[in-house]
C-alpha cells in the first residue's frame, strides 16, 4: 500500500529554534494536510494545501505543497514548549479511494 515517509523521525531542539520536516510519497497527491497530535488525543489540523507549489502560513507555521505533488514540507519558526508533539502529513492520492497518514515526526522542545 501507499507509504508516506516523514523525516526526521524525531527532533530535539532548543526553545526559539526553527524546525523543518518533510513528507514524501511514491504517488501524486491532490491535497496535503498537516496535523499535530498530543498523546492520547485526536490529531489537530494545522494547515491544508491544495495546489502544487502552494505556500501557506498559519502563525509560526509554514507549509508547502511540492511541485512534483509527491512531497510537502512544514516549517515551524521560533519554537516554543507547546509545539511538543507528533506531526503528521496526510492526504488522499490522486488515484484510489483511501486517505493516508505519514509515519510522523516527534518534536521535543527543550526550554
Partner 1 sequence: DAGVTQSPTHLIKTRGQQVTLRCSPISGHKSVSWYQQVLGQGPQFIFQYYEKEERGRGNFPDRFSARQFPNYSSELNVNALLLGDSALYLCASSARVWDEQFFGPGTRLTVL
Place of cell 512531497: 71
- Choose among 91, 80, 81: nearest CA to 54: 91
Q: Shortest gap between Cβ of 30 and partner 1 (angstroms)?
A: 7
Nearer to partner 1, 36 or 66 (CB): 36
Q: How far is the CB of 90 from partner 1 (least distance, A)?
A: 8
Strand bridging mode 105-110 / 10-14: parallel
Residue closer to partner 1 by CB (options 37, 77) is: 37
For residue 24, the minimal CB distance to partner 1 (Å) is 14
Q: Which is nearer to partner 1, 11 or 33 (CB)?
A: 33
Binding site residues, partner 1, CB under 8 A: 1, 4, 30-31, 33, 35, 40-45, 48, 88, 90, 92, 97-104
Instruction: Choose among 98, 95, 97, 105: nearest CA to 35.
Output: 105
Query: Do residues 71 and 25 touch, judged by C-beta distance below 8 A?
Result: yes
Amino acid at each position: 500500500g501507499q507509504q508516506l515517509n516523514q523525516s526526521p523521525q524525531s527532533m530535539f531542539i532548543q526553545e526559539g529554534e526553527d524546525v523543518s520536516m518533510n513528507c514524501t510519497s511514491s504517488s501524486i497527491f491532490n491535497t496535503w494536510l498537516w496535523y499535530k497530535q498530543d498523546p492520547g488525543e485526536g490529531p489537530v489540523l494545522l494547515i491544508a494545501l491544495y495546489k502544487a507549489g502552494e505556500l501557506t502560513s498559519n502563525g509560526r507555521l509554514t507549509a508547502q505543497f511540492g511541485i512534483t505533488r509527491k512531497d510537502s514540507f512544514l516549517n515551524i519558526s521560533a519554537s516554543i514548549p507547546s509545539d511538543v508533539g507528533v506531526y503528521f502529513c496526510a492526504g488522499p492520492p490522486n488515484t484510489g479511494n483511501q486517505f493516508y497518514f505519514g509515519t510522523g515526526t516527534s518534536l521535543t522542545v527543550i526550554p
